[in-house]
Amino acid sequence: MERKSRAKQVALLGMLGAVAIVLSWLEGMLGPVPGLPPGAKLGLSNVATMLAASTMGPGSALAIALLKGLFAGLTRGLTAGLMSLSGGLLSTGVVCLLLWWRRCPLGYVGIGIAGAVCHNMGQLLVSFLLTNAAVFAYLPFLLLFALPAGAVTGLTLHILLPAFSRLRGEI
Amino acid sequence: MKARKLWRMADLALIVVVIAAAVTTAVLLWFPTGGDAVAVIAVGGEEVGRVRLSGVTAGYDLPLHTDPQVILRVEPGRVRFQKAGCPDQICVNTGWLTSPGQTAVCLPARASVRIEGAGGVDAVVR
């Protein structure tokens, strides 16, 4: 019994990790979105880390964020890897805290937005360390853009969670 | 873990806080400080040059000593990342910078150009 549930964990983790990588790759293929600040992304792959965070716990979610960062580093270079890691780990950490905090007053939309804001702030911090304070010019854009991006992530999570929990029970 | 709602009132409060933070930082960071537009060029956190854009009479290319190589294009009243040897081209896609507060950054090359509003300095390139 113990062995079976462990195998299940590993299989689910691998699946969510693959989903995260495919989503971030797809997003990279879309290229710059007109009307958005350069470099802004929807953060679709955050759906995978948030799914892991809400059904499998913080360890699994952080493992996926780490995997995604390594993949970005291998395929798109060191800078992209650092950006993905800093944003991913900070946002996943905060989302885990909010999800496991029983009295947290936020709904899924709020948690998605908190995650998106933290993702952008983590990336901004690393870009600041790589260059200088000039990068803070992006701060207002990044804050505003985190609202729709985070709301979409939260909504997706809300829709997927029941289905994912069922799937998890059946495997 | 018990089921959570999609939307709660605290979400609205969070949205208001984020918008307020965005507006505050926008006012603080982008408010025109007056004077001439000066392009402040930095590589790896070190300032490497300043160009007063209104003092530029003829356009020229300004290569920066970075890896990957980036080339700035300076023209009267404006500046942009012309070419960058990086895969994502975020800095090039940012386009022309003309007024104080505007910024373009190339992270792989750790190069940034920020327009500041200041008078006095003509052109200093070290």
pLDDT in tens, A16-31: 999 999 998 888 777 6
Is the model's pLDDT at A168 over the cut of 60?
A: yes
Whose CA is closest to B73, among B54, B94, B44, B96?
B96
To the nearest whole angstrom, how far is the Cα of B56 from the nearest Cα of chain A? 22
Over range B66-83, report the average pLDDT: 94
Of all residues in chain B, the one with the smallest CA distance to A135 is B105
Interface contact flag, A113 B91, Cβ < 8 Å = no
Assigned domain for B68 exists? yes
* In chain A, % of residues over pLDDT 90: 61
Secondary structure (H, E, C), chain A: CHHHHHHHHHHHHHHHHHHHHHHHHHHHHHCCCCCCCCCCCCCCCHHHHHHHHHHCCHHHHHHHHHHHHHHHHHHHCHHHHHHHHHHHHHHHHHHHHHHHCCCCCCCHHHHHHHHHHHHHHHHHHHHHHHCCHHHHHHHHHHHHHHHHHHHHHHHHHHHHHHHHHHHHHHC
Partners of residue A38 in chain B, C-beta under 8 Å:
90-91, 93-94, 104
In the structure encoding, which two tokens stand for residue B32, read together? Answer: 């025109």
Of all residues in chain A, the one with the smallest CA distance to B31 is A137
Over range A82-103, report the average pLDDT: 94
Interface contact flag, A143 B110, Cβ < 8 Å = no
Taking the C-alpha atoms of residue A89 and residue B43, their distance in angstroms, rounded to an integer, is 27
What was the pLDDT predicted at B122? 45
pLDDT in tens, A30-53: 766 666 666 677 788 889 999 999
CATH number at residue A130: 1.10.1760.20
What was the pLDDT predicted at B120? 45
To the nearest whole angstrom, how far is the Cα of A28 from the nearest Cα of chain B? 9
pLDDT in tens, B93-122: 889 999 888 899 999 999 999 998 864 444
- Total domains in chain B come to 1
Is the model's pLDDT at B125 over the cut of 90?
A: no
| E strand segments, chain B | 37-43, 46-52, 60-64, 70-75, 78-84, 103-106, 111-117, 123-125
Assigned domain for B9 exists? no
- By the 8 A CB rule, do B31 and B71 touch? no
Q: How high is the mean pLDDT of chain A?
A: 88
The edge-to-edge listing of strands for the beta sheet with B70-75 is B60-64, B70-75, B78-84
Taking the C-alpha atoms of residue A39 and residue A133, their distance in angstroms, rounded to an integer, is 17
Taking the C-alpha atoms of residue A108 and residue A157, their distance in angstroms, rounded to an integer, is 7
Count CA atoms closer than 13 A to B120's CA, side-chain side: 4
Give the residue numbers spanning the domain of B114: 37-125
Is the model's pLDDT at A7 over the cut of 90?
A: no
Q: Which residue has the higher pLDDT, A132 or A33?
A: A132
Of all residues in chain A, the one with the smallest CA distance to B105 is A135
Name the amino acid, one letter, at A24.
S
CATH number at residue B80: 2.60.320.10
Distances (CA, A) of A31 to A40, B23, B93: 10, 27, 11
Interface test with B, best of A50, A130, A152 (most B CBs within 10 A): A130
Provide φ and ψ at A167, rounded to 5°: -55, -40
Partners of residue B88 in chain A, C-beta under 8 Å:
39, 76, 80
Of all residues in chain A, the one with the smallest CA distance to B7 is A107
Over range B76-105, report the average pLDDT: 90
User: Beta strand B70-75 with B103-106: parallel, antiparallel or unpaired?
Assistant: unpaired
Interface contact flag, A110 B93, Cβ < 8 Å = no
Give the residue numbers spanning the domain of A77: 2-170
Interface contact flag, B15 A113, Cβ < 8 Å = yes
Q: Which band of pLDDT confidence, cut at 50, 70 and 90, is reported for residue B34?
A: low
| Whether residue A32 has a cis bond before it, omega within 30° of 0 | no
In the structure encoding, which two tokens stand for residue A49, read together? Answer: 């880390």
What was the pLDDT predicted at A34? 63
Give residue ranges of A with CB < 8 Å to any B CB.
32, 38-39, 54, 76-77, 79-80, 83, 99-100, 102, 105-111, 113-114, 117, 127, 130-132, 134-141, 143-144, 146-147, 154-155, 158
- Total domains in chain A come to 1
Q: Which of A165-169, B28-32, B41-45 has the highest mean pLDDT?
A: B41-45
Secondary structure (H, E, C), B48-77: EEEEEHHHCCCCEEEEECCCCCEEEEEECC
Secondary structure (H, E, C), A116-165: HHHHHHHHHHHHHHHCCHHHHHHHHHHHHHHHHHHHHHHHHHHHHHHHHH
Poorest-pLDDT segment among A55-59, A94-98, A126-130, B1-5: B1-5
pLDDT in tens, A56-91: 999 999 999 999 999 999 988 898 899 999 999 999
Of all residues in chain A, the one with the smallest CA distance to B43 is A131
Interface test with A, best of B11, B64, B86 (most A CBs within 10 A): B11
Minimal Cβ distance to A107: which of B4, B18, B46: B4
| pTM for this model (two decimals) | 0.85
Is the model's pLDDT at A2 over the cut of 70?
A: no
pLDDT in tens, A109-130: 999 999 999 999 999 999 999 8
Taking the C-alpha atoms of residue A68 and residue A71, their distance in angstroms, rounded to an integer, is 5
Assigned domain for B64 exists? yes
Interface contact flag, A140 B10, Cβ < 8 Å = no
